[in-house]
């Protein structure tokens, strides 16, 4: 059955790939003005899949101009009508979920089993935003009987959003919602490593929104992304990406104008296990938290596992057995649990850190190499990898690898452990496992992380804001906070005497 499904997936993927790949600008499917393209690949085979449009500065200018032209009418469109159009998009996403998932899987290396749920997750996020949109409102402020004061929330105008490669269709779809529902128009740059699902989405929603309200472009960061960030008429920029990219965007934007820049960046996140934790659940939580199902390519991965010395040996043995059960394989096979790293460059980065871990004295408990077999010879595959006896001065302790590499740290003293957990430049997520609620809250309060779990990992929840501390970000993604972030406040003072 699985072989038949894989063959059916491969056949349908070939059919979908056999099309001209174009950007959505001003309601039209277009090439780059000069015809520039770049190759995009299948990470599981290394084979070229298609030529994607490579937007240059003039293409970005055109997209911004179309969004500017559409803004006055879209701003005046009642919220209820904007909601109705977003819900039409949700219907299209559900209808075309299989095709979008296939393009995502073949272009990003993520297992197909995860990609259809990713489409439906985007739908759920959009449904929440549709329901919350009417709650984006101002306040009345008490003052004197002679004067009234109030605030109103207004859209920025043209918004630029730049999304990463690890969840291409989920981000492409869900990140359209908040800017549009709050009255902005949008230029969305899809990930250069995996643009196809986002470009297909543009084709599918072309006729839903008025021309220019949604524009979807493809290209790299240095040319396309930088032109969007630096465009003087794009006041609001949103990035989901790496810490290094976030710094560059802040600097580049500031050279042009004062802009509202929100950043959801990387993480080197701790999962802390106390001796009284439920070990069966905690082991499952550690594996889930590492996001091996995404090849470890997740900013929220709990990639540093802090185990109390009393449970260290037993936990490590169970962890090794569990990780070695993960089925690495072709992303289009429905039984595959872990696919391929996104690109050769990222694969080499992961392998570099694995070598560093070994050189610096960590013990490679399992993995650390390419899987055996002909089907893994050409793609960018790495076995799920666990290092033990990791200490803070090792690179695999400090640096975000963005690959399937977990570091296990032995601890005894709580104060020292918390200091180590907080010792990286990141502060995105964190998890504490214990049956003692007092211990849980004592440690959670001291973790320098923006999104945390007690006896859990990995999961996001509809309506709950996702944000980082320290160098892991500014502002919130998800929740009503995301909607608010795409508005600016205007105060209105009514003088009655």
Active site residues per annotation: 264, 299
In angstroms, what CA-CA distances link 31 with 38, 58, 164? 12, 12, 22
CA 219 to chain centre: 18
Strands (DSSP E) found in 402-486: 405-411, 429-433, 451-454, 473-474
d(CA 198, CA 289): 26
The C-alpha atoms of residue 438 and residue 178 are separated, in whole angstroms, by: 37
Strands 473-474 and 429-433: unpaired
For residues 197-224, b (16+ Cβ closer than 10 Å) or e, as one string?
Answer: bbbbbbbbbbeebebbbbbbbbbebebb
- Partnered with residue 50 across adjacent β-strands are 40
Short-list 443, 457, 451, 489, CA closest to 470: 451
- In order of 188, 192, 225, the CA distances from 221 in angstroms are 13, 8, 4
β partners of residue 234:
158
* CB contact set of 368 (below 8 Å; sequence gap of 6+): 354, 357, 358, 383, 385
CA dihedral sign, ordered 355, 356, 357, 359: positive
Rounded to whole angstroms, the Cα distance separating 289 from 305 reads 10
CB 350 within 8 A of CB 341: yes
Beta bridge partners of 128: none
Block residue for tokens 């892991």: 472
Structure tokens at 288: 């889930």
What is the tally of helices (H) and strands (E) in the chain? 17, 20
The Cα–Cα gap between 111 and 293 comes to 7
* Sign of the dihedral through C-alpha 396, 400, 402, 404: positive
How buried is residue 321: exposed, middle or buried, by Cβ count under 10 Å (0-12/13-18/19+)?
exposed
| Nearest alpha carbon to residue 242 among 481, 473, 447, 451 | 473
Alpha-carbon distance 221 to 225, whole Å? 4
Owner of token pair 């997520």:
429
Burial of 95 (0-12, 13-18, 19+ CB in 10 A): exposed
């Amino acid at each position: 059955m699985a072989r038949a499904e894989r063959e059916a997936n491969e056949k349908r993927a070939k059919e979908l790939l056999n099309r001209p790949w174009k950007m959505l600008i001003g309601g039209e499917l277009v090439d780059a003005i000069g015809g520039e393209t770049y190759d995009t690949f299948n990470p599981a085979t290394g084979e070229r899949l298609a030529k994607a449009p490579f937007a240059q500065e003039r293409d970005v200018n055109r997209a911004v101009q179309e969004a500017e032209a559409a803004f006055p009418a879209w701003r005046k469109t009642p919220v209820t009508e904007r909601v109705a159009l977003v819900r039409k998009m949700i219907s299209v996403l559900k209808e075309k979920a299989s095709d979008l998932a296939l393009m995502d899987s073949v272009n990003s290396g993520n297992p197909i089993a995860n990609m259809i749920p990713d489409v439906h997750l985007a739908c759920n996020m959009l449904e929440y935003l549709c329901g919350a949109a009417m709650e984006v409102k101002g306040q009345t402020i008490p003052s004197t009987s002679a004067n009234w004061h109030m605030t109103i929330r207004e859209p920025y105008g043209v918004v630029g959003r730049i999304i990463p490669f690890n969840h291409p269709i989920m981000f492409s779809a869900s990140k359209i919602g908040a800017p549009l529902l709050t009255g902005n128009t949008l230029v969305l740059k899809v990930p250069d490593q995996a643009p196809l699902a986002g470009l297909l989405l543009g084709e599918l929603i072309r006729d839903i929104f008025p021309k220019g309200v949604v524009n979807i472009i493809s290209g790299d960061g240095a040319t396309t992304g930088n032109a969007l960030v630096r465009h003087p008429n794009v006041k609001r920029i949103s990035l989901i990406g790496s810490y290094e990219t976030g710094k560059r965007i802040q600097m580049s934007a500031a050279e042009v104008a004062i802009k509202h820049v929100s950043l959801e960046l990387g993480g080197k996140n701790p999962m802390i296990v106390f001796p009284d934790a439920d070990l069966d659940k905690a082991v499952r939580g550690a594996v889930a938290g590492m996001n091996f199902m995404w090849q470890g390519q997740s900013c929220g991965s709990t990639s540093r596992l802090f185990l109390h010395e009393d449970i260290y040996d037993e936990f490590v043995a169970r962890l090794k057995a569990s990780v070695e059960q993960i089925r690495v394989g072709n992303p289009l096979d429905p039984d595959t649990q872990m696919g391929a790293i996104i690109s050769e460059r990222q694969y080499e980065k992961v392998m570099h850190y694995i070598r560093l871990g070994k050189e610096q004295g960590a013990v490679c408990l399992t993995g650390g190499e390419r899987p055996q077999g002909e089907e893994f010879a050409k793609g960018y595959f790495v076995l799920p990898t666990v290092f033990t006896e990791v200490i803070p001065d090792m690179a695999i302790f400090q640096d975000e690898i963005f690959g399937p590499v977990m570091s296990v740290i032995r601890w005894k003293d709580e104060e020292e452990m918390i200091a180590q957990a907080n010792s990286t430049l990141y502060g995105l997520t964190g998890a504490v496992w214990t049956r003692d609620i007092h211990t849980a809250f004592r440690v959670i309060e001291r973790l320098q992380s923006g999104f945390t779990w007690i006896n859990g990992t990995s999961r996001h929840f509809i309506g709950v804001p996702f944000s980082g501390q320290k160098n892991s970000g500014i502002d919130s993604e998800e929740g009503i906070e995301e909607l608010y972030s795409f508005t600016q406040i205007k105060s209105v003072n009514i003088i009655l005497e």
